Amino acid sequence: MKVSELNFTEIKENIKNYLANNPDFTDYNFEGSGLSLLLDILAYNTYYNMFYMNMAINENFLGTAIKRGSLASIAKNFGYTPKGRTSARIKIVIEITEPVNSLQNGNKIILDKRTATFTVGSDNQQYTFTPVQSYTLESKNGKYNAEIELIEGVWVKQTYQAGLSKFIIPEFNIDLSTVEVYEITQNNEVMPYTRFNNLKTLNADSRIFYIFETPFQTYEILFGDGILGKVPSPGSTIQIYYKTSAGEAANGLSNIAYSGNLIDGRFGQQDINYLTIVPSYGGSEPEPLDSIRKNTLNAYYAQERAVTVNDYKYFLEKEYPLAQSVSVWGGQDNDPPIYGKVFISIRPKKGFTLSVSEKQRIINEIIKSRNVVTVIPEIVDPEYTFLVLDSTIKYDTRKTSMDAEQMKFSILETIEEFANNELGKFDTYFNYSKFITQINNINPAIIGNNTFILLKKYVTFIPNLTNTYKVNFKNEIKERSFKNLVPLKMKTDTTINSELDIFLEDERGYVYAYTVNNVGEKVRRKVVGTVNYNTGNVELVMNVSSVVGRNDYTMSFIAEPKAFDVQMKYNDILIIDPTDISIRIVAQ
């Protein structure tokens, strides 16, 4: 049923024509006010019914449902629970001081995950955080200190009597990862239940619970039926703990203060020092509708097994919320091929790469329990390539009230929006014409747009050591376009004076180091590398001592792509750094 085909006027006209064919009404004047009103009502009724039906049926299908509740219900049939809000996390070092004379090394205090609350945020808006787990702090040199992780949200506890078929959590904004369920037996035994994850270890005695989103965006908890999972004993009490989350709003905060009970009955805010290691991050809003549609089907395709490339991607996107973008490719597609391996690259929401321990944790906790036994997963760091933009925009001053600065500002905004939406992820494609069109559409006054793009790579060097450096732009590049952005100093050899600023340029497949003499002429000193223009791969063999004007060990190189459309795949990410955007506004 296509709602676009529903047309009130057409329906009314059809009714009129139909009635006119009936001998009882052949001679009636249907334009008369009374009959016309009746026809209006009937046509409206028809229209209303059809529209209602259209909507009702659409809400029954995954592809067309637009209400979150409908999608959640359909997803439930596929065994998928849409992600709710995710709480932000923060990493801090906590230090509790006690008079030395009363403290001996090895004393312990416990930072309880429910009662040790911290307040994070500014005066205007503060959020409650608690430890992700209970930490035991051991004293050393007169202090208790530890690196801990906190998670945003206030603990809520719901208590029910066992025996219900389902237990409703009457909250909207729950971080599902924090839900904890316990059965308190009549003998006061506490029996924890874990969230159902997969069938492999499921039996009649498994203490598991299922959680589903209800059509009202709250959640319901179900237990086993005695065949697949244990039924809580009659007479026992069910305790459900969970955190309500502020989602994204709690991200990016670092001011912290302790606000909980006295730790160990003695220590309060005045005794505690903090150092924020990583400001709050990872808070997210409930899963968007499109994502629910996609992941519901992906869950169905994957069936809890990581076999194909798509399966790996699905599990990582589902279970590692700190990933901004995920790329997976089989070793058979790698260059060079490494069979029996699956390569994974993750761009984290915070920072550029994952730590070694985090990579290992992802492999152990998310991949290993699901993937093919002989296939080895390996997480590789993303490789970033920066897009350098140089635009000259001409605009007609008579067609807009904007001045040049305003025009520049709105162009910058558009570019940033483009960068956020189209780039910064794996498997992206910089479509030059789409980019230009978006700029041109900013304002009808824009009459000219001359934009050049360059690719930029950063490479870390080891000072005073002859080394091979690979600079791979991953796209075809033009000859004579490769150069270093900042002059280098090289270690003295017979061809290069270490005092001179060294520039690099390419020609016919070779990279030359050159200097500039007193009269501004280039003086080529030596060949320091090769260029493959087809692949965009540059190999340099150099002994670099420093980069002019910089204290770190980072060289930067640029090259012009042969085509203005730039494609990245596997672990390559193309991003636009605002500092690489150069815009000249020419008023005409």
370 contacts another protein (rule: CB under 8 A): no
Of 21 and 579, CB closest to another protein: 21
Tell me which of 118, 182, 312, 557 binds another protein, using CB under 8 A. 312
User: Considering the complex, what minimum distance in angstroms separates the CB of residue 84 from another protein?
Assistant: 24
User: Considering the complex, what minimum distance in angstroms separates the CB of residue 19 from another protein?
Assistant: 5
User: Considering the complex, what minimum distance in angstroms separates the CB of residue 437 from another protein?
Assistant: 30
Tell me which of 146, 222, 372, 587 binds another protein, using CB under 8 A. 372
User: What residues numbered 288-307 form the site for another protein, per CB under 8 A?
Assistant: 297, 300-303, 305-307
Of 53 and 100, CB closest to another protein: 53
User: Residues 485, 456: contact at Cβ < 8 Å?
Assistant: yes
The two tokens of residue 405 are: 């600065």
Alpha-carbon 531 to chain mean position: 35
Q: Is 23 exposed, middle or buried (0-12, 13-18, 19+ CB in 10 A)?
A: exposed
Rounded distance, CA 514 to CA 2, Å?
Answer: 69
498 contacts another protein (rule: CB under 8 A): no
User: Considering the complex, what minimum distance in angstroms separates the CB of residue 24 from another protein?
Assistant: 5
SS3 content of the chain, % helix, strand, coil (to 5): 25, 40, 40
Question: Shortest CA distance to 496 belongs to which of 454, 527, 460?
Answer: 527
146 contacts another protein (rule: CB under 8 A): no
Quote the Cα angle for 214-216-220, to 5°.
Answer: 30
29 contacts another protein (rule: CB under 8 A): no
Of 15 and 485, CB closest to another protein: 15
Tell me which of 8, 18, 216, 553 binds another protein, using CB under 8 A. 18
User: How many residues form the binding site for another protein (CB under 8 A)?
Assistant: 47
For residues 438, 440, 444 and 446, what is the CA-based torsion angle, rounded to 10 degrees?
150
Of 49 and 133, CB closest to another protein: 49
Q: ω into residue 336 within 30 of 0, thus cis?
A: yes
570 by DSSP, 3-state: which? coil
Of 341 and 408, CB closest to another protein: 341
The two tokens of residue 510 are: 């070779």
341 contacts another protein (rule: CB under 8 A): yes
**C-alpha dist (Å) from residue 248 to 85, 175, 213:** 8, 12, 20
* Alpha helix segments (H runs only) across 269-383: 289-302, 309-319, 356-362
Tell me which of 30, 36, 42, 476 binds another protein, using CB under 8 A. 42
Rounded distance, CA 431 to CA 568, Å?
Answer: 12
Of 342 and 388, CB closest to another protein: 342
Alpha-carbon 23 to chain mean position: 68
Tell me which of 132, 154, 309, 363 binds another protein, using CB under 8 A. 309
Tell me which of 62, 103, 146, 486 binds another protein, using CB under 8 A. 62
Which residues sit at the interface with another protein, rule CB under 8 A?
1, 5, 14-15, 18-19, 22, 24-25, 38, 42, 46, 49-50, 52-53, 57, 62-63, 297, 300-303, 305-312, 328-332, 336-337, 339-342, 372, 374-376
